[in-house]
Structure 1
């Protein structure tokens, strides 16, 4: 009798041992499969094609489907990139084709206003001037709007002369400043920075445009340059209406406009583009302002490759 009991106990012990071994082996196999799938998923997130599997297991099925997803994503990404390039080229071409005759109209209208005209002709000339200014404004805002998606902003940073960027940006706002008798005071500099010249000029031009737009007539806009260890700071100070403290962070948001300036033309795009351009090339922007005491916008540009 005791022999039967001993045999039964040994059998139960062996069965338990074998069951435990099978469970451990299955658990390890499952963990290995899951680790493999997680690695494949991580690669797929990064755009890598998972290694192909020839077996018909769950692992192989998942990898095959991940391959399909990555391939479709790559194809759609290429199509989207091509479409963005076409849109950018189209907008640039339209802008150039429209702005050239528009600039000529503004020039000829200005020359007409300098002539001795009859009262009726002078009034019509003033109307033409106002309408061309509106058209010019909407064309510039249209171009800005096309860049509200950051994917449309493609920068190619290189070492550039900061003074050249400032001079070109000032030329962009010179006419608006002249109409309000605003003095653009530029402090000369020999500094260099690592940035995309075209986009940085566009960003600084937006800062100067705001400074002129929200400043009173016969005031001044001061442009100075400060060198730091890692950055070049282009500081634009105006004598305008200022910005409330609670709004100073929000002015960089896309389409944000304060109720204080709701009667001024604009769509709240300029400063959003400033921050988008700077962030893509390792820079940033800051604002210091008090209502009624003017605004200072600081544009920080990297001095070396980041």
Structure 2
């Protein structure tokens, strides 16, 4: 009896060849994935550098990934250079304007101490007021630019809200007292996650606005409300209220309602407050009706 080994041998060889091709394909794919993984790790660390790739040895996908990561690395370096340039410019503006503004205020105060006629005193008072306004504007623009460019990073941590409310109210108290406005802080034992320095500034801007636009004899109240994920700080006033058509505009930089054009201000406080809230994972909203006052609500996260 004769056994035919030819077809069987060919079948075995075919299976071995298929297994070899499968193993080669697997190893090639594994090597490519390892290479891509290494590229991404380098890019995450910020030290990716494109090498010379041989198209016969590396796949087109690897080469395209290398080009993409290389261009991203260049973009990241350019962005870092631009941020450094902005930081330098902001520092120069802040430094170069600080002394002239301080001198303007000093000379205005010295003039006010002189024996001047009534009309001259009015001019000196206006000069001092405009110099203060200029100083506030420069400070606000520097802070806003640092926040927008990412130069100044906030460090939110869990803090009690009572000290935040008390700190902002204490800053606004002199103006409220001078205008005959009752400023009230309701006690709270809630905590939230925020940067104390910047959030106090944002809250003060909201309270100061409420005091500024509330008529004599009115009231401004601060209270905190807790939710599962957020804490809400309400600043409620008995002012004239804000028309619905303007409520989305008031958070824009330099926007000022025609109805309050006679009041002092540059229209940047609410914008800055919103930027600070957003930079910490929070947000800002307003509820208001003309003739019924306004409530500005600052939402701060309770957890990361």
Q: TM-score, normalised by structure 2?
A: 0.69
Question: Does the Cα contact within 8 Å between 2:229 and 2:301 map onto a contact in 1?
Answer: yes
Aligned twin of 1:74: 76
**Stretch moving more, 290-299 or 83-92:** 83-92
Q: How does 1:98-113 map to 2 (within 5 A)?
A: none
Change (3 A) 1:268 1:282: same
Task: Tell me the secondary structure at the aligned position of residue 132 of structure 2.
Answer: helix
- For residues 170 and 96 of structure 1, the distance between their equivalents in structure 2, rounded to whole angstroms, comes to 27
Aligned twin of 1:151: 149
Aligned twin of 2:172: 173
Aligned twin of 1:233: 232
**Stretch moving more, 97-106 or 85-94:** 97-106
- For residues 135 and 215 of structure 2, the distance between their equivalents in structure 1, rounded to whole angstroms, comes to 24
Question: Does the Cα contact within 8 Å between 1:91 and 1:143 map onto a contact in 2?
Answer: no
**Stretch moving more, 132-141 or 237-246:** 132-141
Aligned twin of 1:197: 196
Change (3 A) 1:303 1:109: farther
Q: How does 1:17-28 map to 2 (within 5 A)?
A: none
Task: Tell me the secondary structure at the aligned position of residue 251 of structure 1.
Answer: coil
Q: What do residues 136-163 of structure 1 show as CA deviations (whole Å, max 9, x unaligned)?
A: 2221122222344422452111122322
Task: Tell me the secondary structure at the aligned position of residue 250 of structure 2.
Answer: helix
How far has the Cα of 1:108 moved from its partner? 9.1
Task: Tell me the secondary structure at the aligned position of residue 200 of structure 2.
Answer: helix
Change (3 A) 1:62 1:226: closer
Task: Tell me the secondary structure at the aligned position of residue 155 of structure 1.
Answer: coil
Q: What do residues 30-56 of structure 1 show as CA deviations (whole Å, max 9, x unaligned)?
A: xx9xx99xx89x969987848645215
How far has the Cα of 1:197 moved from its partner? 1.0
Change (3 A) 1:63 1:284: closer
Q: How does 1:1-306 map to 2 (within 5 A)?
A: 49=48, 52-55=51-54, 59=60, 65-66=67-68, 68-87=70-89, 89-90=91-92, 120=116, 127-149=123-145, 150-152=148-150, 153-304=152-303, 306=304
- For residues 105 and 55 of structure 1, the distance between their equivalents in structure 2, rounded to whole angstroms, comes to 72
Aligned residues: 264
Task: Tell me the secondary structure at the aligned position of residue 212 of structure 1.
Answer: helix
Q: TM-score, normalised by structure 1?
A: 0.68
Question: Does the Cα contact within 8 Å between 2:50 and 2:67 map onto a contact in 1?
Answer: no
- For residues 191 and 107 of structure 1, the distance between their equivalents in structure 2, rounded to whole angstroms, comes to 44
Question: Does the Cα contact within 8 Å between 1:49 and 1:70 map onto a contact in 2?
Answer: no
Alpha-carbon RMSD: 3.9
**Stretch moving more, 76-85 or 209-218:** 76-85
Q: Which runs of 5+ in 2 are unaligned?
A: 1-28
